[in-house]
Structures are given as C-alpha cells and as structure tokens.
Amino acid sequence: MGLLAWIIFGAIAGWIANALMGTRGGCFINIIIGIVGAFVGGLIMSWLGGQPVMQFSLRSLAVAVLGAVVFLGIVRALRGAGQPAD
C-alpha cells in the first residue's frame, strides 16, 4: 500500500502544481511532476534548514507542490530559452 499511496500523493501534488502554473498534463505526467516536485521541494526545505518530509500531511503536500511549481517553472524557462524571438 505504501507505493500506491506515494503514487496517488504524487498525482495530487502534480495536478495542483499544473493547475497553479496553468499547464496541462495527464495522470501519468502529474505523477511524474509530483514525484519530482517532492524531491525538489525536499531539497529546497533542506537548504532552508527545514525538517525532512517523511509522512503524508498537508505540510508534505505543500512542500511537494512548491517543488513541482519550481520544477515546472524551470522546464518552462528552458523551453522558452530555445524559442527564437519574434
């Protein structure tokens, strides 16, 4: 049940981040974004001296969403950097 719970958690975090950033993604993409977001959010929290997130809570969801938003922002910036100017 642990792995399934983390996948669902990642899907929720990815969906929220996509909604906040105005992007679209399917269920699989939301799961990937949420998992990467949880990792990025954990790194950000450790750099800021915060406690590691090891359980399901609103705090861990907020950290995962924050990380996913940062991740999507980086992806958006990298995609935009390769676009020719009009």
Q: What is the pLDDT of residue 53?
A: 66
Q: What is the pLDDT of residue 52?
A: 64
| 64 C-beta neighbours (distance < 10 Å), count | 28
Select from 25, 30, 27, 28 the least CA-distant residue to 13: 30
pLDDT tens, residue by residue, 15-56: 999 899 888 878 888 888 888 888 888 888 888 887 766 677
- Say if CB 10 and CB 35 are below 8 A apart: yes
pLDDT tens, residue by residue, 9-19: 888 888 999 89
**CA within 13 Å, CB half, 22:** 1
Is the pLDDT confidence value at 1 over 50? no
**CA within 13 Å, CB half, 43:** 9
- What is the pTM assigned to this prediction? 0.80
State the angle between helix axes of 58-81 and 2-21 in degrees (0 to 180), rounded to the nearest 10. Answer: 50
